[in-house]
Amino acid sequence: MDLTKGLICNLTNEKADFTESCEDYSVNEAISSQVEQQELETKLLNNTASKEKRFLNFIIDYIVRFILITVINILLMFILVNSLLQNQLFVYLVAYVTTTLYYLLFEFYTGKTIGKLITKTIVVDENGNKPSFNSILWRTLSRLIPFDGLSFLGSSSGWHDNLSKTLVINSSKKSN
């Protein structure tokens, strides 16, 4: 197997044309596996969600998180002493915990947040499979890095994708 030419005949050292049978043909498993991996990577990259969909995911998830954080703060206002909610650090803590749980639970259990559900996209690992809990945890924690959203300006994937080794693909075309 030659990655540039394709299957090579051991007898002629030329590209196999399969017009005659070749009794000496044997599959090189290492190269075959390498070719399959390259085909999978190409298929996933061709199915990667567009920047526009990713931005729409961000906006929708931002609105959902804002609503969740607001509802949680209102509920806490009835449960806790009102002065605690006037502490800006506590409000930030509620926001970070809510954001972390939102992404961690939704993406681990379903592969989708509300935004991804609406835009028909899904999170997968580099092999197109459901990501592990650790990958989703890294993905979620990476979102808390300041300016993570700006990491999309130079490429089609953000820091939270690269650090967790995950992709967001169109789920309507996903085929494993």
> What's the pLDDT score for residue 34?
63
Higher pLDDT, 92 or 26: 92
Separation between Cα atoms, residue 124 and residue 114, nearest integer Å: 16
> What's the pLDDT score for residue 152?
77
Instruction: Read off the DSSP letter of residue 15.
Output: B
Length of the chain: 176
> What's the pLDDT score for residue 85?
61
Higher pLDDT, 40 or 125: 125
82-134 tens-digit pLDDT: 666 667 788 888 899 999 999 999 999 999 999 999 999 999 998 889 999 99
Phi/psi of residue 113, each to 5°?
A: -100, 180
pLDDT at 50 over 50: yes
Distance between terminal CA atoms of the chain?
25
pLDDT at 48 over 60: yes
Instruction: Read off the DSSP letter of residue 151.
Output: G
Looking only at Cα atoms, what is the longest distance across the chain?
A: 85
pLDDT at 60 over 90: yes
Domain limits, the chain: 1-46, 51-173
> What's the pLDDT score for residue 37?
62
Report yes or no: 42 and 34 within 8 Å, Cβ to Cβ: no
Give me the mean pLDDT over the 23-35 stretch. Answer: 63
Q: Where are the alpha helices (DSSP H) in 120-172?
A: 133-143, 159-164
